[in-house]
Amino acid sequence: MKSTSPQGSCADEGEKTARASGGLQLCTVRIYKYDSVINDLKKPADAFRRFFVSPEFPLSVRTMRLQPGRFLSLWTGPGNDTVNMERKAGVLALNRGFVYREQLDARAGGMTALEYLAGKYHHSTSEEWRKRLEKGEVLLDGRRAWPETVLHPGRQLAWSRPPWDEPDVPLGYAVLHRDEDVLAVAKPRGLPCVPAGGFLEHTLFSLVRRRFPDAVPVHRLGRGTSGVVLFARTHRARSGLCLALRSRSANKVYRALAAGTVAADEFTVEVPIGPVFHPRLGTLHAASASGKHAVSHVRVLERRAGATLLEVRIETGRPHQIRIHLAAAGHPLAGDPLYLAGGGFGTADAALPGDTGYLLHAERISLHHPATGLPLEVWCPPPPELRRSGEMSAGVPGTPGDTRRR
């Protein structure tokens, strides 16, 4: 990780050490409690080459005094379980920070940097944007932008967000299928698929890329949705998988728990979905007469007290499609904090798309393999809450992580 500590002789010396020993990485963590930090950090010299606590220069591990709220940076060698060490030592990992870039269009012309940022990005207040500008975090064409800097179309605006502590989420996944072209994994509920908002490294994308650097996701699931996610590992696989998803030749089946008792055994929802004005986010996808065509086929699996277990097969892949379509049908997902009956959403401060609480699972996806042309079906067993009464994982066709070629 990139260090947030002062750049001085200790950092320079650490970089030289890293180059000399090969494969070392700089990890910066924030101390949040004492615990047994000193003892847990007594590692062989070849594993941890340099320690320094901001703003001091390198100190002996045995004499360091670690205090909550301060930063600890260390060079870790290949094969060291840094995450495990951090947990034992009682410290939280900071991510590397991120640079958000955009090219300004005609709408930015004549506006000041502060007016533009505060007016477009409602996740932060005007005062928060002012502080970022005054700290030099925002650049215009590579040069520092001030709150009163006037913007012009065609120029590039960049915000360098400093490293931050990401929210705690499940940091694990299971490999369901793997070959030289296609990777399918099981995403746990609560883990975001891709970087967005307050998530950068605590995402399925980041976790998968650590083990499979060539993997690129070809679709995504909402943070609160679990189940199958496909990754392409080659260019031909990416083209083939994307074509299958766009042409609707891929069959995607979900399980969902809807609020209330659904009367019809089977029905189809074809409510258009599109962006709708949202005072906090700008726009948010919801049921909209001017939106894009969307189709969901719904079948009742089991009726329960106050809820109904459903199987949903989607032909299209609009954002939050199942959540919106079931809400439009009068039966929002049980526990969904965002979408209301009718397919719209509540007040701006009620919930955000990434908020969890509902039960939705991508159970199965079947298509033709992009390289061999053979049928490929990947199945992920539903969680206990989304199984029918008496149905165990072994009672569902296939086995956990079952990959079937017919």
Question: Stretch 148-168: mean pLDDT, rounded?
Answer: 90
Residue 45, domain member (yes or no): yes
Domain boundary among 93, 109, 130: 93
Exposure string for 275-300, b = 16+ CB within 10 A, e = fewer: bbebeeeeebbbbbeebeebbbbbeb
What is the radius of gyration, based on Cα positions, of the chain?
25
Contact 374, 405 (CB under 8 A): yes
Residue 252, domain member (yes or no): no
Residue 301, domain member (yes or no): no
Q: What is the largest CA-CA distance in the chain?
A: 71
Question: Stretch 188-208: mean pLDDT, rounded?
Answer: 89
Residue 239, SS3?
A: helix
Residue 119, domain member (yes or no): yes
Work out whether the CA dihedral 387, 223, 339, 358 comes out positive or negative: positive
Residues 104, 78, single domain; the answer is no
Residues 119, 65, single domain; the answer is no
Residue position matching structure tokens 């012309």:
109
Mean per-residue pLDDT of the chain? 78
Residues 111, 132, single domain; the answer is yes
Question: Stretch 14-19: mean pLDDT, rounded?
Answer: 32
| Strand residues in 270-330 grouped as ranges (E) | 273-278, 282-287, 296-304, 307-314
User: How far from chain centre, in Å, is Cα 175?
Assistant: 18
Residues 23, 89, single domain; the answer is yes
Residues 69, 119, single domain; the answer is no
Residues 38, 87, single domain; the answer is yes
How many domains is the chain partitioned into structurally?
2
From 6, 59, 5, 57, select the one nearest 27 (Cα to Cα).
5
| pLDDT digits 0-9 by tens, 57-112 | 333 333 344 444 444 444 344 444 444 444 334 344 577 788 999 999 999 999 99
Domain boundary among 93, 126, 153: 93
Question: Stretch 209-220: mean pLDDT, rounded?
Answer: 94
Residues 13, 88, single domain; the answer is yes
Contact 60, 42 (CB under 8 A): no
Residue 328, SS3?
A: helix
Residues 116, 143, single domain; the answer is yes
Domain boundary among 59, 76, 93: 93
pLDDT at residue 168, as a whole number: 81
Residue 204, domain member (yes or no): no
Contact 234, 216 (CB under 8 A): no
pLDDT at residue 39, as a whole number: 39
Residue 130, domain member (yes or no): yes
State how far the Cα of 310 lies from the Cα of 355, in Å rounded to an integer.
Answer: 21
Question: Stretch 115-133: mean pLDDT, rounded?
Answer: 92
Residues 69, 27, single domain; the answer is yes
User: How far from chain centre, in Å, is Cα 400?
Assistant: 24
Residues 15, 41, single domain; the answer is yes
Residues 103, 88, single domain; the answer is no
Residue 225, domain member (yes or no): no
pLDDT at residue 348, as a whole number: 55
**H-only helix segments in 22-125:** 37-40, 82-89, 113-120
Question: Stretch 352-381: mean pLDDT, rounded?
Answer: 93
| CATH code: domain of residue 125 | 3.10.290.10
Residue 79, domain member (yes or no): yes
Contact 229, 187 (CB under 8 A): yes
State how far the Cα of 203 lies from the Cα of 193, in Å rounded to an integer.
Answer: 5
Work out whether the CA dihedral 255, 257, 262, 267 comes out positive or negative: negative
Contact 339, 355 (CB under 8 A): no
pTM of the model: 0.70
Domain membership of residue 63 as a residue range: 9-93
Residues 73, 122, single domain; the answer is no
